[in-house]
Amino acid sequence: MRKLSKKNIKIGILGGTFDPPHKGHLHISKIALRKLKLNKLIWAITKKNPLKKKPYLKIKTRIKLSKKITSKDKKIFINCFDDKIKSVNTFDLLNHIKKKQKGTELYFLIGADNLVKFHKWKNWKKIPKLAKLAVFPRDNYLLGKSKYIVSKTLKKNDLIYINSKKVNISSSLIRKFW
């Protein structure tokens, strides 16, 4: 097997609160690994999303559940960077990973629902300089539509729209039944 140079390494990052983690997270992770030809994928679990309410589950519980749900996939790694980078923002996370993984290609995975408020994220226009955005379909959100501020503002090659089967599940939906 040929050895990969750092320039050949592709790392995906799926960030979020994972409150709780579910098969939808795993589904898009597996698709990203295959379609983007990623060498590894990091679930970057944050203590709190700056645009959402306080998480239902404690961070340790979310990490434990995430490790359990991904235990069979050796290319998915679980981590919480908040204390290391002293931030819960995606820009800071990607900046940290980019510095640690010099020369690698980064892909940040998001659901199409995140495009609606993406322009409210810290340094959102700078995020594509650190990582390409791989956008996955979500119910009631259209891929590639220019009605979103982010779609109108960023360059077309900054956004990669991944066509895949939608998994009709979300953490907020799961919490409603708890």
pLDDT tens, position by position, 19-61: 999 988 999 999 999 999 999 999 999 998 887 888 899 999 9
pLDDT digits (tens, 9 = 90+) for 50-96: 878 888 999 999 999 999 999 999 999 999 999 999 999 999 999 99
Nearest to 125 by CA among 98, 151, 100: 151
Residue 27 tokens read as: 């589904």
Task: Judge whether residue 166 has pLDDT over 80.
Answer: no
Q: Say if pTM beats, i.e. exceeds, 0.85.
A: yes
Output the DSSP codes for 88-144. Answer: --HHHHHHHHHHHTTT-EEEEEEEGGGGTTGGGSTTTTTHHHH-EEEEE-BTTB-TT
Residue 2 has pLDDT above 80, yes or no: no
What CA–CA distance (Å, rounded) separates 31 from 126?
A: 25
Which pLDDT score is estimated for 1? 45
The pair of structure tokens assigned to 45 is 């679990």
